[in-house]
Amino acid sequence: MLDDASSPTPQAVTVAGSTAAHRLQPLLHDLVSTVLAPTVALSGGDGQIRPAGVQGVFHADSRALSQATLTIDGREPEAVGHAPQGPGATRFVTLARWLGDPVPDPTVRIERFRQVVPGGMEERVEIVSSATVPVTAVVSLEVGCDFAPIEVVKSGGDTAEAAPERTAPGEISWRSGGVRVAVTGTGARAEATEPTEVTGSAESTGYGRTGFLRWPVELAPRGRVTLSWRVEVRDPQAVVTAPDRPAEWAVGEGEPRVVTTDHRLGRLFEQSMDDLRSLRLAETAAPGDAFLGAGVPWFLTLFGRDSIWAARMLLPLGTELAMGTLRVLARRQGTKIDPGSGEAPGKIMHELRRHDFAVEGNNLYLPAAYYGTIDATPLWIGLLHDAWRWGAPAGEIAALLPHLEAALGWLGGPADPDGDGFVEYVDTSGRGLANQGWKDSGDALRFHDGRRAQPPIALVEVQGYAHQAARQGADLLEAFGLPGAARWREHAAALAERFRARFWVDGPRGRFPALALDRDKRPVDALTSNIGHLLGTGLLTAAEEARIADLLVSPEMAGGFGLRTMSADAGGFSPLSYHCGSIWAHDTAIVVAGLARAGFATHAATLAEGLLAAGETFGYRLPELYGGDDRAALGRPVPYPAACRPQAWSAAAAVTVVHAALGLYPDVPGGRLLLRPLAGAPLGAVSVRGLRVAGAEVSAAVDRGGEVVVTGLPAGISTERAST
């Protein structure tokens, strides 16, 4: 998800030998994120928030603090380590080696315990001395605020420090429009600098003003002192807020826990649950309906596709998040034709911002409520169906059936503008997203020889989503006594026939579905991960699924740490391309789930093991994406430098892998739970508590022999072992 400010392109940088300058998106991979949505702090590994790149404290798409640097007697402490401490919390450890005893070992240590809360951040600074002599110093915190919109930061646009509104005892504050930011230090003296011109830096923007909090500190031998400060943001313009209740899976003794013979899966699950709790959001006007913000920092808001996929992947933990996500998107379902926003009757939106999203130096212009997505609508139908199967309350499902009928109406009408029977897109505004599937960068869709495909585009996975949505929509209509089920089953059958005739192509390893059809209805013949999303949609025969399964674990596709977005032998392949050779955790997990349900246990385990290996190298916080280099190249994945982290569907990937290992597939309306664990338990023994079926807390375990045991099912649900 790139918003087509595609390449990691924030500072103005002059290219050698050129008179032109281009802006570079700030790098993220080495920053530390501390988040409790809708607020996030991004800093260096030492805890310092420096006035550069994307560092800062952000709240609801706007930067509240652009600087928070700590010094002791004018010198910055030296970093030695940091670690997450749960949702919204990080601890940083630094040293002041110039203080204390003149011995090789450090004797003055500084720990910053950072806690982000919705609308602010609190920090406790502990200075601990093991020296034999007293230590006297002045601790200073320099703070700045620029109110920079997230899209300006993302594109490398110019920003300028705002002047403090006022300085009161222990407090420095700023105001812009209706937004107010205040920094307060307990027991500190507050000062503001005078405006001075900033020179000698490529990042300079002219003038700036910062403020200081200062604390004189005296430590006795082997003494300690604790300082504290906080930032508070009052933002009545924010369109997102924190939900008004905790996550369904995070309440009481039912909080999910995983015990495995592969410690990597357990640790990945634990960190992912913390990250998922920290990414929960709600609309300001409806705090009771939670959804997941897509990712930190660029996409910490409602994204149709991303929020739907993440909620779908988390259904084993309960249906509350799914129902909240469905309701939020239903309230903003399209009602009219608007080429500028991409809105159409029945269509599910792509993203929600506090204002229009315009990128400096780029033709991209997205309205605050933007509908430029081809897949969110069928995916919304799929989430509604799956939530029903997992036991969401029938009344809540019934309340959304008018929106289901509207979404099906879009699927059978505006989704196919030229009437050829395939779902396709084109940006008629000329200023929206050129590509509108999940691979939405401008260069994502390429033929095998590397040529770019031209719109209108009919994506391969979207035909699978549409086929599945038509069938699942029919099931819902029939179950709730509404007309139209036969029509949508016929629609699905006709789509499958057309797909088989038009999409399959020949490649070096045999036949496979093309990535897309281009504007001339030619198959875009690159081998990509997109075809893995067809598994389980009903669009393929068993033999076709087996063919695709083998291709997905070929060395060209699975030679890295997970599933490559594009085959390594394709002309457009690049391991650090956003969508043409990189590896996305959610993409790999979706394919793992499809392989597992179709009975391809070894294939699923091959891709899942890649995710576990990657998770270990990233501290068990999987980023949005990473490089698709061969495993032998470095022995660890190469970070994608501008990847979001944490990111909702990447964190949800851990739940998907656990679910695939267990193989629990409920049909609560039908009164059964199908058991299809990975044959042979290739991921080892897995035991999970805190799953939920129809609201009941359920435990499940699969042993090394692949036998699964489920306890806690609600009355009326029987288990059934799937045939192999």
pLDDT over 70 at 403, yes or no? yes
Kindly state the DSSP code that residue 667 receives in the 8-state scheme: E
Q: Determine the Cα–Cα distance for residues 515 and 135; give it in Å rounded to an integer.
A: 66
| Predicted confidence (pLDDT) at residue 250 exceeds the cutoff of 90 | no
- Range list for CATH 2.70.98 in the chain: 11-30+39-234
pLDDT at 205 exceeding the cut of 50 = no
Could you read off the pLDDT of 559-573 as tens digits, one per residue?
999 999 999 999 999
Q: Using DSSP, state whether 662 is helix, strand or coil.
A: helix
pTM of the model: 0.94
71-78 own/partner pairs: CB under 8 Å, 24+ apart: 71/139, 71/140, 71/141, 71/142, 72/96, 72/99, 72/110, 72/127, 72/137, 72/138, 72/139, 72/140, 73/98, 73/99, 73/137, 73/138, 74/140, 76/46, 76/48, 77/46, 77/110, 78/46
Confidence of residue 22 (pLDDT cuts 50, 70, 90): low
How do residues 292-303 score in pLDDT, each as one tens digit? 999 999 999 999
* 56: pLDDT strictly greater than 90: yes
100 contacts: CB under 8 Å, gap ≥ 6: 106, 107, 108, 129, 130, 131, 133, 135
Residue 360's pLDDT is 64
- pLDDT at position 4 is 42
**Is it true that domain 11-30+39-234 has CATH number 2.70.98?**
yes
pLDDT of residue 251 exceeding 90, the answer is no
Q: What pLDDT, on a 0 to 100 scale, did the predictor assign at position 6? A: 37
Question: Given a cut of 60, is residue 111 above it in pLDDT?
Answer: yes
Parallel, antiparallel or unpaired: strands 39-43 and 56-59: antiparallel
Task: Give ranges for CATH 1.50.10.10 in the chain.
Answer: 240-708
Q: What is the mean pLDDT of the chain?
A: 93
Four-way CATH pick for 240-708: 1.10.3980.10, 1.10.150.120, 1.50.10.10, 3.40.50.850 = 1.50.10.10
pLDDT-based confidence at residue 192 (cuts at 50, 70, 90): confident
Q: What mean pLDDT comes out for the span 466-488? A: 98
- HSE (side-chain half, CA atoms, 13 Å) at 299: 27
Q: Supply the pLDDT for residue 136.
A: 97
Query: Which H or E run contains 517?
Result: strand 516-517
How high is the pLDDT of residue 142?
A: 96
Phi, psi of 469 (to 5 degrees): -65, -40
Contacts of 183 (CB under 8 A, 6+ apart): 65, 68, 143, 171, 172, 173, 211, 213, 229, 230, 231
